[in-house]
Amino acid sequence: MANPQPDFDAIVIGAGFSGMYMLKSLRDRLGLKVRVYEAGDTVGGTWYWNRYPGARCDSDSYIYCYTFDRQLLQEWQWSERYPEQPEILRYLEHVAQRHDLKRDMQFGTRVTGVRFDDATERWTVGTDRGDTVTARYVIAAVGSLSDSNLPAIKGLDHFKGRWYHTSQFPKEGVDFTNKRVAVIGTGATAVQAIPEIAYQAKQLTVFQRTANYCVPARNGHVDPDVVKARKARYGEIVDTIRSSFFGFELAFIPKSVLETTPEEREKEFDRMWDEGGFAFWLANYQDMFFSAEANRLCADYIERKIRKTVKNPATAEKLIPKGYAYGTKRQPLDSHYYETFNLDNVTLVDAKADGPIEAITEHGIRAGGKEYPADIIVFATGFDAMTGPLKALNVSGRGGARLNDAWKDGPRSYLGLMVAGFPNLFTLTGPQSPSVLSNMPVSIEQHVDWVSDCIAHLESHGKKTIEATPDAQERWVAHVNEIVNMTLMPGANSWYMGANIPGKPRVFLPYLGPEGVGGYRKKCDEVAAGGYEGFVLA
Ligand code: NAP
């Protein structure tokens, strides 16, 4: 007997930037029957969940958006250089409405299992709401930073105050007025949240495990003439960011910083510093990520800025990063972060200088043998990045092999798009693709377009499945590691290396270069044009 039709052609997991466009593309371009499952109660993904005070985009708004809808690029008006979370969520709601996306989305539903059936060559997807549906394709659009990391610090159960993780903040917000607040963590999230919380709280204690190099965001309203000029050349901008290294209108200075005079580099550093945003990180001298000596010059510049801004020399010393190269952890953008430590109601507790966190007590946090009282604890402790959200899906592929077993020593994928043994399962912005090392919407659109083209190819060639070969996968994994091992990146205990999660394999998670997102796009396109080299189509 012929197999009955699957319930859907494709299941998309997640309704953030990537899931929304994936649905649009599969449904409206290819005419497929698609269902999106989303744990939140509306679209937005990361911008739905991350509602902490100060949450805003770190990429310039004019390129942190979809480019597939060219009309919308012209119509949408961003209020600032880096819009706040509610504004980005409004934008995504608008896109959902404009493209009638919600009719194919089921909200408040978390996918709990994804299983491949060898006999029917279909996937069965189960959810926490009791759905069990079948589909030919599954696209994981789960985001790279969506599996929160709540560290197992003893004593939290006994804490008498309230506590929150920044990635799951209450919708109604939290009133910090007259409260003693403790923030754990000093990553990009905390750097945004700390100045806002300090402004409201009676007392703020910041628990720092590793100091970060922060550079100024320089947020503000964008000159209407600049906005107009950008709109007039959007076609060119889109081409530039797609072929760039990191998905921005930025490029490295094609010179070694070691070949510059002190005056020359000071002028360049000042220029990037004044420009704000990621220029200092992603458009610095070309050897900044490769040479410890070159990197030191950039780091020294930031150190001088910290010492100049932070009035108490002991606090400044604690805020100066040590033991890893500049730029090898994700660059946090500073809007009054360093100045916040000049306020009388703010205390910095550094794990090295003051002692690490030992326990959460009934009334606060104990670190280095001293108790710091708190009414509210905010965990700005990040995520089990990139692999965490995929592992949480409980995927089993051919022969019942579990993704979590296949990845026990770190992720293995081909192009960051597919995993050998898991046919017709696509991982948008997955590990070993540029993903988090790029301006996300650029990488998201590239992956969505590639997956749509691939599925269109399968459909038009009468193929049922596509699957990465183990050989191609091994070559890709080796290539990803070879490239990153030429840089300073592996030296940092970053979440890029999985180092923030106890027990996680120390493996570089995204893909870096050698020609950035532009070169990666070219590679993916060549693979497709060559008849999907490295994949088996059956
Ligand atoms: P994160 O960068 O992983 O920072 C987490 C912080 O918590 C770090 O300071 C970490 O210290 C600390 N921490 C973790 N476990 C701890 C423990 N057991 N005890 C004490 N401290 C602990 O997380 P995040 O700040 O949420 O940022 C994650 C990523 O989200 C960013 O890197 C960025 O890609 C993205 N993000 C984007 C935006 C934006 O564009 N709008 C804004 C915010 C975040 P260590 O450094 O020692 O691990």
Closest C-alpha to ligand 1, atom 6: 185
Ligand 1 within 6 A of 437 CB? no
Ligand 1 within 6 A of 532 CB? no
Ligand 1 within 6 A of 189 CB? yes
Contact of 88 with 63, CB cutoff 8 Å: no
| Confidence (pLDDT) at 138 | 99
Q: SS3 string of 253-300? A: ECCCHHHCCHHHHHHHHHHHHHHCCCHHHHCCECCCCCCHHHHHHHHH
Token pair for residue 288? 């900044």
| DSSP-derived pairing of the beta strands 203-208 and 215-216 | unpaired
Ligand 1 within 6 A of 377 CB? no
| Confidence (pLDDT) at 375 | 98
User: How far away, in angstroms, is 76 Cα from ligand 1 center?
Assistant: 31
Atom in ligand 1 nearest the alpha carbon of residue 59? 40
For the stretch 25-77, pLDDT in tens is 999 999 999 999 999 999 999 999 999 999 999 999 999 999 999 999 999 99
Ligand 1 within 6 A of 190 CB? yes
Residue type, 220: G
Q: Give the span between the Cα atoms of 357 and 367, in whole angstroms.
A: 4
Name the residue of 500, 501, 509 whose CB sits within 8 Å of the most ligand 1 atoms, as the mutation to test its pocket: 500
Ligand 1 within 6 A of 357 CB? yes
Query: Which residues does 395 contact at the CB level (< 8 Å), separation at least 6?
Result: 114, 115, 402, 403, 404, 422, 425
Name the residue of 209, 278, 281 whose CB sits within 8 Å of the most ligand 1 atoms, as the mutation to test its pocket: 209
| Confidence (pLDDT) at 3 | 65
Ligand 1 within 6 A of 83 CB? no
| Confidence (pLDDT) at 2 | 52
User: How far away, in angstroms, is 288 Cα from ligand 1 center?
Assistant: 22
Q: Give the span between the Cα atoms of 1 and 40, in whole angstroms.
A: 39
Atom in ligand 1 nearest the alpha carbon of residue 209? 47
Question: What pTM did the predictor assign?
Answer: 0.98
Q: Give the span between the Cα atoms of 56 and 247, in whole angstroms.
A: 18
Ligand 1 within 6 A of 206 CB? no
Q: Would you call 424 exposed, middle or buried from its count of C-beta atoms within 10 A (0-12, 13-18, 19+)?
A: buried
How large is the C-alpha radius of gyration of the chain? Answer: 23
Ligand 1 within 6 A of 54 CB? no
Vertex 272 angle, CA 294 and 265, to 5°:
45
Please identify which residue in the block is written with the tokens 């929160």: 148
Token pair for residue 164? 């929150």
Ligand 1 within 6 A of 209 CB? yes
Ligand 1 within 6 A of 355 CB? no
Among candidate residues 95, 91, 131, 99, the one with its CA nearest the CA of residue 114: 131
Q: How far is CA 128 from CA 38, 39, 393, in A?
A: 11, 9, 11
User: How far away, in angstroms, is 52 Cα from ligand 1 center?
Assistant: 13
Atom in ligand 1 nearest the alpha carbon of residue 145? 30
Among candidate residues 98, 534, 152, the one with its CA nearest the CA of residue 379: 152
Atom in ligand 1 nearest the alpha carbon of residue 500? 48
Ligand 1 within 6 A of 61 CB? no
Q: Would you call 91 exposed, middle or buried from its count of C-beta atoms within 10 A (0-12, 13-18, 19+)?
A: buried
Q: Which residues pair with 221 in a beta bridge?
A: none
Among candidate residues 454, 428, 442, the one with its CA nearest the CA of residue 534: 454
User: How far away, in angstroms, is 123 Cα from ligand 1 center?
Assistant: 34
Q: Would you call 126 exposed, middle or buried from its count of C-beta atoms within 10 A (0-12, 13-18, 19+)?
A: middle
Q: How far is CA 266 from CA 153, 260, 280, 300, 303, in A?
A: 43, 9, 12, 11, 13
Cis check: omega of the bond before 514, within 30 degrees of 0: yes
Name the residue of 48, 189, 219, 334 whose CB sits within 8 Å of the most ligand 1 atoms, as the mutation to test its pocket: 189
Q: Would you call 481 exposed, middle or buried from its count of C-beta atoms within 10 A (0-12, 13-18, 19+)?
A: middle
Among candidate residues 316, 314, 313, 284, the one with its CA nearest the CA of residue 297: 284
| Confidence (pLDDT) at 4 | 79
Ligand 1 within 6 A of 463 CB? no
User: How far away, in angstroms, is 212 Cα from ligand 1 center?
Assistant: 10
Ligand 1 within 6 A of 500 CB? yes
Reported as half-sphere exposure (CB side, CA atoms, 13 A), residue 250 has a value of: 25
Instruction: Report, as ranges of residue numbers, the positions in the chain whose pLDDT lies below 70.
Output: 1-3
| DSSP-derived pairing of the beta strands 111-117 and 122-127 | antiparallel
Kindly report the average pLDDT of the chain as a whole number: 98
Q: How far is CA 202 from CA 175, 177, 179, 356, in A?
A: 11, 7, 5, 23
Atom in ligand 1 nearest the alpha carbon of residue 381? 7
3-state secondary structure of 526: helix
Contact of 51 with 171, CB cutoff 8 Å: yes
Residue type, 9: D
Q: Give the span between the Cα atoms of 387 and 476, in whole angstroms.
A: 17
User: How far away, in angstroms, is 189 Cα from ligand 1 center?
Assistant: 6
Atom in ligand 1 nearest the alpha carbon of residue 167? 26
| 361 CA to centre of own chain | 32
For the stretch 455-470, pLDDT in tens is 999 999 999 999 999 9
Query: Which residues does 362 contact at the CB level (< 8 Å), separation at least 6?
Result: 158, 159, 160
DSSP letter assigned to residue 211: -
Ligand 1 within 6 A of 381 CB? yes
Q: Give the span between the Cα atoms of 50 and 92, in whole angstroms.
A: 14
Contact of 508 with 385, CB cutoff 8 Å: no
Atom in ligand 1 nearest the alpha carbon of residue 188? 25
Closest C-alpha to ligand 1, atom 2: 187
